[in-house]
Amino acid sequence: MSAMSVMGGSGVMTEAGEGPGTVVGSAAGAVDSEALATLHRVFGYDSFRGEQAAVIDHVVAGGDAVVLMPTGGGKSLCYQIPSLVRPGTGIVVSPLIALMQDQVDALRALGVRAGFMNSTQDFGERRAVEAEFLAGELDLLYLAPERLRLESTLDLLSRGKIAVFAIDEAHCVSQWGHDFRPDYLALSLLGERWPDVPRIALTATATHATHQEITQRLGMPDARHFVASFDRPNIQYRVVPKADPKKQLLTFLKEEHDGDAGIVYCLSRNSVERTAEFLAAHGVRAVPYHAGLDSGTRAANQSRFLREDGLVVVATIAFGMGIDKPDVRFVAHLDLPKSVEGYYQETGRAGRDGLPSTAWMAYGLNDVIQQRKMIQGSEGDEAFRRRAQAHLDAMLALCETVECRRGQLLVYFGQDPVPGGCGNCDTCLTPPETWDGTVAAQKVLSTVWRLERERRQKFGAMQIIDILLGRRTAKVIQFDHDQLSVFGIGEELAEGEWRGVVRQLLAQGLLAVEGEYGTLVLTETSGAVLGREREVPLRKEPKKAATARSAAGGGRSEKKAKTAAVALPEELQPAFEALRAWRAEQAREQGVPAYVIFHDATLREIVSLWPGSVAELGGISGVGEKKLATYGEGVLGALSALGEAPVVSGAAAQASGAGTETGSAPGSKSGSKPGSSGSDSGRGTGSGARAEQLGPDDWPEMEMEPEPEDWM
């Protein structure tokens, strides 16, 4: 068995400090040996990724740990292995009540004795789980954080043997975070009541400030800290100018992700419903998910997404945390997220299997105005509004950057960007042009200033643009705005370009939004521009001819070909689909998601190696003892029914071999190539075909905005 670590960009971890309990010398070797044996026996891998081994060794030896690792980086193993190696039951605190059943099913499929307790169970079901825990018959027990506020739960835990406390989604403890859960604030009692039980807090996204808040609020001052790279090189980040967002989304799906599973995020419930209906009417299998739906509908739609291939979920941010579906090929945003943390966590749900995936967002002037208005109208105090404004400013900077977008993300989380750019984001693939927008900015600011100074009036963006373009609209004539000295001074730019100017001035803080109607006002920094003391560099807006379809050109077939090359050669595709069909039948019979049986990455490796015996099958990544015993004969039977292994050409065989080394696996088999990872296989894929696909710049009028109570 090899201890060689097969790593890519998404799993490299660096330590940010040490605490007591560090594993050294022979003790580390003994722990490492037992942990590795468990990894191989249960999960079917021969080595850990990155510093998973360091985290696990530290916790197994009794130390506390705070772990920041991106989605798909293998966080769960960091508490699952210690729970299996240490005596007692691992207690996993998770807010993901709706997913606990699936998490437990997945572990049971591996032969792990797992259970959960939450509000979905009746009295008899909870009593049965309690009895298993007290009898020492559970390896892992999942609990919702609110259950730990019940004295009955604490009494139950005190009567059993606890191996480790794992606090999943630990960023929920941050009161300034995007997923704050008040019940997490009480979890510091775990260390007070069970001081000898190691604790591990895990999250997929946190800034340095949130990281420190997690440590402080959970009462873990002596914890050892592990921070993984936040780079997800297989995800291509793209932001397109918002014109007709639903149609832009449909074009994106039809041309690049036809038949793929994905998530579409919208800001409001109404937008979720309208978008899901629109996609369904145009041949895309889509279902809605938001807090306004009854619990039965939400559960059914979530279950379909987990169990069916190629389903699209249109959702508010109420959906997605903890979703363990490996083959989500895209995450799309039709509205601007409120923070970079939220954006990163939501986009991170794509491409957990390490294959090329897309994070696509439509972004426009209305997004900036809506978010500014929401912050101004919020019920929080001034400190809350300042924090929200800082989050929004960072998100706007990410959208407006002319530098590598991935690099901007990494810098936000305190990490070094990829030198020379990543080669797999829109700004690297199609570098945006910039121009000196100082004069244009002065024209906009002067118009706002004259309206307020000369007329004591304030108006929104469209009225400002109409004045600059010299349009005698009904509203312009009503207020005699055609008599202003600035009327018609902006005819050198088109409407879409002026919208871009206003959007970027708002993003740079040179304009602000005020009041219920989103009127524009000057800021403290506006004077420097009007006084010619400051230049204003701006991004060029795309030309009208550069529609999404024309920019794509023949890109769809090239993109599909490149994705397929990473995954499998054409000769093996029928066998892969046959195994997927066999897996789907097994999943239906057992009532579990298909990936609980085997991930696509494992099926790809099976058809690439074409094992002829149970022993050979057991040498494939992701095939542990339990799955080998349960499914081994079925897999071999499915392959046997296909006849002889197809003859694969040399180039295709090399592509097939590369495709099996995916970054999604928690570890790797000893036969894998060192220094490689499927998550790296996505870097640069489709650099020509998957270039930025910009929409037209004939920006529409502002749509009706949802009511305040609909922002969920």
**pLDDT over 70 at 554, yes or no:** no
Angle, CA of 22, 77 and 328, to the nearest 5°: 140
Task: Report which listed range, 176-190, 262-276, 398-412, 533-547, is most confident.
Answer: 262-276
Contact 695, 547 (CB under 8 A): yes
* Domain contains 496: yes
Same domain for 425 and 443, yes or no, is no
Strands 65-68, 199-203: pairing kind: parallel
Same domain for 199 and 149, yes or no, is yes
Helix spans in 17-99 (H): 25-38, 52-60, 77-85
Same domain for 129 and 22, yes or no, is yes
The alpha carbon of 668 is separated from its chain's Cα centroid by a whole number of angstroms, namely 23
How far lies 414's CA from each of 138, 208, 265, in Å?
39, 7, 26
Q: In this structure, how many other beta carbons lie within 10 angstroms of the beta carbon of residue 372?
A: 20
Same domain for 483 and 588, yes or no, is no
Q: What share of the chain has pLDDT > 70, as a percent?
A: 81
> What residues make up the domain containing 145?
13-228
Q: State residue 178's pLDDT score.
A: 53
For residue 289, what are the contacts with CB-CB under 8 A and spacing of at least 6?
A: 272, 298, 301, 302, 313, 314, 315, 316, 318, 319
- Residues 55, 653: Cα–Cα separation, whole Å: 36
How far lies 334's CA from each of 245, 275, 368, 391, 696, in Å?
6, 9, 13, 18, 16
Same domain for 200 and 94, yes or no, is yes
CATH number for the domain spanning 578: value is 1.10.150.80
Amino acid, single-letter form, for residue 544: K
Give the domain-ending residue among 172, 195, 228: 228
Q: Residue 448 — very low, low, confident or very high, per pLDDT cuts 50/70/90?
A: very high
* Domain contains 201: yes
Same domain for 248 and 221, yes or no, is no
CATH number for the domain spanning 510: value is 1.10.10.10
**What is the average pLDDT across 567-593?**
88
- Residues 338, 319: Cα–Cα separation, whole Å: 15
Same domain for 488 and 566, yes or no, is no
Q: Residue 75 — very low, low, confident or very high, per pLDDT cuts 50/70/90?
A: confident
CATH number for the domain spanning 26: value is 3.40.50.300
* Domain contains 702: no
Q: Which of residues 541 and 512 earns the better pLDDT score?
A: 512
Contact 244, 260 (CB under 8 A): no
Q: State residue 256's pLDDT score.
A: 95
Give the domain-ending residue among 228, 261, 291: 228
Same domain for 344 and 466, yes or no, is no
> Which pLDDT tens digit goes with each residue over 420-437?
899 999 999 999 888 999
Same domain for 449 and 411, yes or no, is no
C-alpha dihedral over 187, 192, 194, 195, to 10 degrees? 120
For residue 325, what are the contacts with CB-CB under 8 A and spacing of at least 6?
A: 261, 305, 306, 349, 352, 593, 595
**What is the average pLDDT across 607-623?**
92
Q: State residue 29's pLDDT score.
A: 47
Query: Quick one: DSSP state of residue 8?
Result: -
Q: Which of residues 391 and 92 earns the better pLDDT score?
A: 92
Mean of pLDDT over the chain: 81
For residue 694, what are the contacts with CB-CB under 8 A and spacing of at least 6?
A: 240, 241, 542, 546, 547, 548, 551
Q: State residue 388's pLDDT score.
A: 84
**pLDDT over 50 at 689, yes or no:** no
> Which pLDDT tens digit goes with each residue over 340-369?
988 998 999 999 888 899 999 999 888 888
Q: State residue 675's pLDDT score.
A: 32
| b/e map 169-187, b = 16+ CB within 10 Å | bbbbbbebbbbebebbeeb
Q: How many domains does the chain have?
A: 4
Contact 687, 555 (CB under 8 A): no
Q: Which of residues 686 and 54 earns the better pLDDT score?
A: 54
> Which pLDDT tens digit goes with each residue over 119-160?
888 899 999 999 999 999 999 999 988 888 899 999 999 999
Q: State residue 209's pLDDT score.
A: 77
Same domain for 152 and 193, yes or no, is yes
* Domain contains 620: yes
Q: Residue 694 — very low, low, confident or very high, per pLDDT cuts 50/70/90?
A: very low
> Which pLDDT tens digit goes with each residue over 287-341?
999 989 998 999 899 889 988 889 999 999 878 766 778 889 999 999 999 889 8
Least confident of 46-60, 167-181, 443-457, 539-553: 539-553
Q: Which of residues 656 and 246 earns the better pLDDT score?
A: 246
Q: What share of the chain has pLDDT > 90, as a percent?
A: 48
* Domain contains 298: yes
Helix spans in 63-202 (H): 77-85, 100-109, 123-134, 151-158, 189-193
Strands 434-436, 537-539: pairing kind: antiparallel
Tokens found for residue 338: 């409120």
User: Which residue has 């100018």 as its token pair?
Assistant: 241
Tokens found for residue 399: 């959208």
Same domain for 659 and 639, yes or no, is yes
* Domain contains 335: yes
H helices, E strands: number in the chain: 30, 20
Same domain for 162 and 255, yes or no, is no
Q: State residue 325's pLDDT score.
A: 86
Torsion sign (Cα): 52, 58, 60, 62: negative
